[in-house]
Amino acid sequence: MKNKLMCSLLAVMAISSVHAETVEESNILKSFSSSGTVSFLTDYYSRGYSQTEGDPAVQGTLRIDHDSGLYAQLFASNSELDIGSSIELDYYLGYDYLVNDHLKLNIQYADINYPGSDKSLPDTDYEEYSVAATGMGLLTDDDALNFTFYYSPEYFFQTGKMLRYETSYNYPIAKNWNAYAQVGYNKFSSHEAYDVLWATDQEDSYYDYKLGGNYNYNDFIFDLYYVDSNINKELNYADDAVIFSITKAF
């Protein structure tokens, strides 16, 4: 009888241990969530210039978030930068911290890559660090004002450090409709670096602008926006443009 009781007790303990481990694993998995997007754009225009020479682009993102605020993200897009690569592949690691219902902070590391780029050119890949603050519910329940500072210690084509200061504001104008504006200031290491990047040594910084609106419907986002910059007006890929995009979120 004692042996039977002992065996029964050991069996219950083993089952309880397995159940506890299963519950723990389940709770760990529940602390993670995933999301992503697929986008079709009439032009991949970023930070003041077209990265597809005015041609359409297909882009995708995949993101994993942890309840703590940590996240990892992958971004991919076709590109046409005349560097021997036709794709951009970026990796992000970051942390979101919600201070309160009206303020969120973010720090992020980005690794920007152009697989297959011409090895005879200076390195096209670079790293970028950023810090951001977002104020929410300032004028309405769903508006947002964001300030972000970006720093790259060795920018595209090994042109030295690059600084970017960016401000954006999103305002809900009706149900599922939003209007937004963005302005960025980009500062490079020297006039020589600017010449390598933008074919003129008369400047070492430039502004870029974005103004538009979007409509959200059943996880689809329809975007229409105007973009411009003062990089170098003699460059066709830095002309102003009107861009339309469709994004499916999942």
| Mean pLDDT of the 228-240 span | 95
- What total number of domains does the chain contain? 1
CATH number of the domain to which 37 belongs: 2.40.160.40
Side chain identity, residue 31: S
Bridge partners of residue 15, in order along the sequence: none
| Mean pLDDT of the 227-240 span | 95
pLDDT tens figures, 108-161: 999 999 999 999 999 999 999 999 999 999 999 999 999 999 999 999 999 999
pTM for the model stands at 0.88
52, part of any domain: yes
54, part of any domain: yes
9, part of any domain: no
pLDDT at 30: 85
Q: Are strands 103-113 and 205-217 parallel, antiparallel or unpaired?
A: unpaired
48, part of any domain: yes
pLDDT band at 28; cut points 50, 70, 90: confident
177, part of any domain: yes
Bigger pLDDT: 6 vs 187? 187
214, part of any domain: yes
User: Where do we find the tokens 């603050």?
Assistant: 133
64, part of any domain: yes
Could you tell me the CA-to-CA distances from 17 to 6, 9, 20, 112 in Å, in that order? 16, 12, 5, 45
pLDDT at 12: 45
Bigger pLDDT: 5 vs 164? 164
pLDDT tens figures, 68-122: 999 999 999 999 999 999 999 999 999 999 999 999 999 999 999 999 999 999 9
Q: Which of 3-7, 53-57, 132-136, 235-239 has the lowest mean pLDDT?
A: 3-7
pLDDT at 87: 97
pLDDT at 27: 66
Quote the domain boundaries for residue 110.
33-249
* Sign of torsion over alpha carbons 113, 83, 50, 238: positive
171: Cα separation from own chain's centroid:
20
219, part of any domain: yes
Phi, psi for residue 127 in degrees, rounded to 5: -110, 150
pLDDT greater than 90 at residue 10: no
42, with CB counted inside 10 A (0-12, 13-18, 19+), is middle
